[in-house]
Amino acid sequence: GFNENKSHNIIDINQCLMLDSSLNEILPKIKEFLKEFISIAITVKVKKNKIETKYINKGSIRLLKADNGIDVLFVLPINPGVEHRMLVADFVNSNEKIIRFCWQINNSAPEEIVTKISPKLYISDYEIDIPVGAFLQASKDAETKMINKVIGYLGEISGSLADLFCGLGTFTYPLSKIKGVDD
């Protein structure tokens, strides 16, 4: 959902026009999964002899449409427990389109919880492994249009070319195929 204007209230959405159809299709399943996920209690030691029961009621979800499936990343404020891991395993194994599920606690390194197959991106006939939390363009169509624009701007160039801040290589791989360009 989205935050309501000037508030912390979340406005529920059933479909986002910006999302790939496969991501829109998985949203209801993610919502059902979340209901169960947030209902699981975690016992946390807060002081020397004090234990509290907590629930994960904050965080964010990042869905990525790889060329071979859906990659899920939960960013959470506290570390989930064993029951959460078991729930994730059942959820991923019952959803064929989800290929990897990770979580990240605050700013720590992401942890892969279930990986059926590594998420891939195909750029100019190159197969790229997608690292957890990677940034991609909003859609494959947008990516293709951007690549075509960049190549069109270059015209008939030759010599060396640098792709600064290249990320996963959205422009690097297509540019490497231009004759006369040193890579």
20 alpha-carbon distance from chain centroid? 13
Question: Residue 10: helix, strand or coil by DSSP?
Answer: strand
The pLDDT value recorded for residue 141 is 82
The pLDDT value recorded for residue 108 is 94
The pLDDT value recorded for residue 106 is 92
Burial state string for 100-115 with b = 16 or more CB within 10 A and e = fewer than 16: bbbbbbeeeebeebbe
Ranges in the chain, pLDDT < 50: 183
Task: Kindly report the backbone phi and psi dihedral angles of residue 7, in degrees, each rounded to the nearest multiple of 5, phi listed first.
Answer: -155, 175
The pLDDT value recorded for residue 181 is 58
Q: Measured between alpha carbons, how far apart are the two ends of the chain, in Å?
A: 43
The pLDDT value recorded for residue 182 is 55
| Residue 102, CA atoms < 13 Å, CB-side half-sphere | 24
The Cα–Cα gap between 19 and 15 comes to: 8
The amino acid present at 139, given as its one-letter code, is S
Overall residue count recorded for the chain in this entry: 183
